[in-house]
A and B are shown apart, each in its own frame.
Chain A
Amino acid sequence: MPRIGVYVCHCGLNIAGVVDVEKVTEYAEKLQDVIVAKHYVYMCSETGQRMVKEDIKAHNLDRIVIATCSPRMHEETFRRTVAEAGLNPYLLEIVNLREHVSWVHSEEPEKATEKAKDLVKMGVARVKLLQPLEKRRVSVEKNVLVVGGGIAGIQASLDLADAGFRVYLVEKAPSIGGRMAQLDKTFPTLDCSACILTPKMVDAARHPNIILLTNSEVTNVSGFVGNYEVSIVKKPRYVDEEKCVGCELCTQVCPVKVPDKFNEGLSQTHAISIYSPYAVPKIAIINPNHCLRLKYDKDVCGKCLEACEAKAINFEQQPEEFRLKVGAIILAVGAEIFDASKMPELRYKQCKNVVSNIEFERILNASGPTKGEIINPQNGAVPKTLVFVQCVGSRDKRFHEHCCRVGCMTTLKQAILVRERLGENVKIYVCFNDMRAFGKGYDEFYRRARELDIDFVAGLPSDIRSAPEGSLYFDVYDKGTNKLLEIKPDLIVLASGMVPNTDLEKLSALFHVSRSNDGFLLEAHPKLRPLESLTAGIFIAGSCQGPKDIPDTVAQASGAAAKVIDLLAKDVIELEPLTAVIDKNLCSGCQICEPICPFLAIETKTEIVEGTEKAKAKVIEAMCQGCGLCVSACPTKAIKMQHYTDEQFLAQVKACCSERR
């Protein structure tokens, strides 16, 4: 006969404010095999836990039901508690009286109490059938995969490499550096972005523990925490990385002009080029979509081939695939900038003098399309009136509800730079709705902008118009003056927000990580586990988790690196024993389960049974994630999910449907 203890938690007033915990306890006490039933204000507190441990010993309890908050919150806590009292930690059942009862039925306390009783009854029914299980112990790979070579990926890689781990840093673009490399200055200190970033880029490339894989993408991920296996494809550069010295002689002779991606298409580069002035690695790359020889004919052009003294050009280069074993993965793939042409009323892409903030960043930059001269793209004139329009694509239910978190500060920075470089002769307006300057030194920076006679208009324009000759004008109503201002700017900069990467959907499927409603990657807990994904061993850093400025990105990257170090510092890690097991006698060898398993954890092996060869499915325990798909697919019911067996569920259903005493 099992000896069960039931504990009902008040969770302060979170549960007890709705559910009558005393009645639930009284009810539980009368259930068959329940030896002890108690309620307490905070079961997760030291006192609450001690109560359980003492009862286990005093009453010789062998199964515990705790009716409290979601198991996602405290199941681990209470498993440790019962284990400390000498019980197998899997002989514990959590009943969720908070998320499933009190929070959702706060209007109907009596019915909530009845539901709580039912749930406790079901918990007691299940706990009787639980089996003791042992955690699996597996060794860990000491290598780490970092996906994305922006400032987040670079920072995380450097931290990990310095701690002695081998890091594979994979970057899709031909160079690391990411968005930060495109920026001119950084707020609120106005340090030169390149000056603080390029040393880190170089460090990452030179670090003996970092293996840089640029122009590469992850194509497959399998395995589990501590033991991931990933495939990476390195796309051809058509330039030998060992031989190229980055002299750019090839670029100078290439006859094909191509929009320069690094300059946001505001200038042109060539079909063979070096990605940016600070590219790391500084190796040329041929764009196969534009190169005449790669696009049309093996015998045309070839000018770069003649110009290259290092004989580095190789049109025969093929994609290379690498397979790596890593213990942990950090996703740091960054974000994209909202495409303002989705709002035709703002005339972006229709009028050259309406630019996005990232494009303006390139215009401000000495290595940009205008060599840092602030001129409008249409006719190259120095603007006399410049307007910044805030919240483009952000805080807008039609596009993205989230605040882009950097638009206000980016605009302040760009406005200050314009004032500093063009002096008093330029009129600068910022049309805004809430100026958000929340970081360290940010509001002081906002003040600095006001001191520089930048005009802040509290209101956003509905549309921007262009006269037949191309000049821009718009109306905007100002909250402060209660006046409609008619502004005729030479240049308009749109504060286009940060939005999720378009390939984030693909990525989330590849790495089995979830996304939140806003489309960014979902953290395991918004407050307490912000650096982890919900998949063990996969961490997230930077703006792929949500829009971030540089300080926050770097902080999160270092944090994620520390989390990885914490994980991989051990030689062996413990895994939940919640895996599928197959009853060989029942397995018919039909192989339905094998392709269904998303983790490739089932293999079919032939066995000799009574003299004849028979196919039998086998679970590779280390790879099984316990998702249960195979269990429901098996036609002979040969597969059982440990800790979640049919019998256990049915006992709950039966208890639920039986009359209440």
Chain B
Amino acid sequence: MGLTDLMSMAKPNMDARENFLSKLSSREFVNCFQCLKCTSGCTALKLLELKPHEIVKLVNLGFVDELASSDIIWTCVTCLKCVQRCPQKASPYHIIMVLRNMAVEKEAQIPEEYLKTVSRILETGLAEAPQEVTTRKMEVFDRKSLNLPKITFPRESFQVAFMKIMEEK
């Protein structure tokens, strides 16, 4: 859902903010003084209207639920420019990642591909399935025909361990 719609009737929820804070390793973001460097340089701003400065401020004011339900947090390209250039070390990227985790927790709608990836990793250890590559001359190659080593799947214990940490509260 769009953030504007979510925010229209929203009220701050400080418990949600506390929950958010417990998941973030650093509290530096409270130092944000809205200089807007992050948004001025945001890779996802022009195309998808991601405004990191707005997210930082909304989190601080307690609008965590609204952000976690919104689709805006899924527009970050993870280019890390905002982390690098923030004069107050507020790290909008890390905030967005925590919000994404919270979205998953509350079973908000998230891009399907992320959940598919979880299953793929569980099955094969890898986030992607091996592909065949068609060359410019229309020849088809795969790892085998390229004489590349076979992919070895993770040991059996991996699935249990991965499930354990995925399902942990």
Same assembly: yes
Bound complex: CA A397 to CA B87 (Å) = 5
Q: Taking the nearest CB of chain B, how far is it from the CB of A436, in angstroms?
A: 12
The 8 Å CB contact of B51, one of A460, A475, A476, A477, is A477
Whether A395 pairs with B33 at a CB distance below 8 angstroms is yes
Identity of the chain B residue whose Cβ is nearest the Cβ of A433 in the assembled complex = B35
The 8 Å CB contact of B39, one of A345, A396, A459, A474, is A459
Identity of the chain B residue whose Cβ is nearest the Cβ of A390 in the assembled complex = B35
Given that A462-B41, A484-B46 are known contacts, is A477 also in contact with B36, CB under 8 Å in the complex?
Answer: yes
Q: Taking the nearest CB of chain A, how far is it from the CB of B30, in angstroms?
A: 13
Whether A345 pairs with B85 at a CB distance below 8 angstroms is yes
**Chain B contacts of A461 at CB under 8 A?**
37, 40-41
Bound complex: CA A345 to CA B35 (Å) = 16
Bound complex: CA A475 to CA B41 (Å) = 7
Residues of A within 8 A of B (CB): 345, 391, 395-398, 433-434, 458-463, 474-479, 484
Given that A459-B40, A475-B41 are known contacts, is A397 also in contact with B35, CB under 8 Å in the complex?
Answer: no
The 8 Å CB contact of A462, one of B33, B34, B37, B89, is B37
Bound complex: CA A471 to CA B148 (Å) = 48
Given that A459-B39, A461-B40, A484-B40 are known contacts, is A398 also in contact with B87, CB under 8 Å in the complex?
Answer: yes
Given contacts A397-B89, A433-B36, 11 further A-B contacts (CB under 8 A): A391-B35, A395-B35, A396-B87, A397-B87, A434-B33, A460-B37, A462-B37, A462-B42, A476-B40, A484-B40, A484-B45
**Chain B contacts of A433 at CB under 8 A?**
33-36
Whether A477 pairs with B45 at a CB distance below 8 angstroms is yes
Given that A391-B35, A433-B33 are known contacts, is A475 also in contact with B40, CB under 8 Å in the complex?
Answer: yes
Bound complex: CA A461 to CA B39 (Å) = 9
Identity of the chain A residue whose Cβ is nearest the Cβ of B45 in the assembled complex = A484
**Chain A contacts of B39 at CB under 8 A?**
459, 477, 484
A-B contact count (CB 8 A): 58
Whether B89 pairs with A458 at a CB distance below 8 angstroms is no
Residues of B within 8 A of A (CB): 33-42, 45-46, 51, 53, 81, 85, 87-89
**Chain B contacts of A460 at CB under 8 A?**
35-37, 40
Nearest first, the 9 A-B pairs at minimum CB distance are A462-B41, A459-B36, A396-B87, A433-B35, A477-B39, A462-B40, A477-B40, A476-B40, A460-B35
Bound complex: CA A226 to CA B87 (Å) = 45
Whether B35 pairs with A459 at a CB distance below 8 angstroms is yes
Bound complex: CA A492 to CA B46 (Å) = 23
**Chain B contacts of A458 at CB under 8 A?**
36
Given that A476-B36, A476-B40 are known contacts, is A462 also in contact with B46, CB under 8 Å in the complex?
Answer: no
Bound complex: CA A370 to CA B33 (Å) = 38
Residue contacts A-B, CB under 8 angstroms, 11 given = A391-B35, A395-B87, A397-B88, A433-B33, A459-B39, A460-B35, A462-B38, A462-B40, A474-B40, A477-B39, A479-B34
**Chain A contacts of B37 at CB under 8 A?**
459-462
Bound complex: CA A201 to CA B145 (Å) = 84
Q: Taking the nearest CB of chain B, how far is it from the CB of A484, in angstroms?
A: 6
Q: Taking the nearest CB of chain B, how far is it from the CB of A474, in angstroms?
A: 8
B40, B85, B89: which has the most chain A beta carbons within 10 Å? B40
**Chain A contacts of B51 at CB under 8 A?**
477
**Chain A contacts of B88 at CB under 8 A?**
396-397
Identity of the chain B residue whose Cβ is nearest the Cβ of A461 in the assembled complex = B40
Bound complex: CA A398 to CA B37 (Å) = 14
**Chain A contacts of B35 at CB under 8 A?**
391, 395, 433, 459-460
Q: Taking the nearest CB of chain A, how far is it from the CB of B133, in angstroms?
A: 35
Bound complex: CA A391 to CA B87 (Å) = 10
Bound complex: CA A433 to CA B33 (Å) = 8
Identity of the chain A residue whose Cβ is nearest the Cβ of B41 in the assembled complex = A462
Bound complex: CA A626 to CA B25 (Å) = 47
Bound complex: CA A396 to CA B35 (Å) = 11
**Chain A contacts of B46 at CB under 8 A?**
484
Bound complex: CA A458 to CA B35 (Å) = 8
Identity of the chain A residue whose Cβ is nearest the Cβ of B90 in the assembled complex = A397
Identity of the chain A residue whose Cβ is nearest the Cβ of B85 in the assembled complex = A462
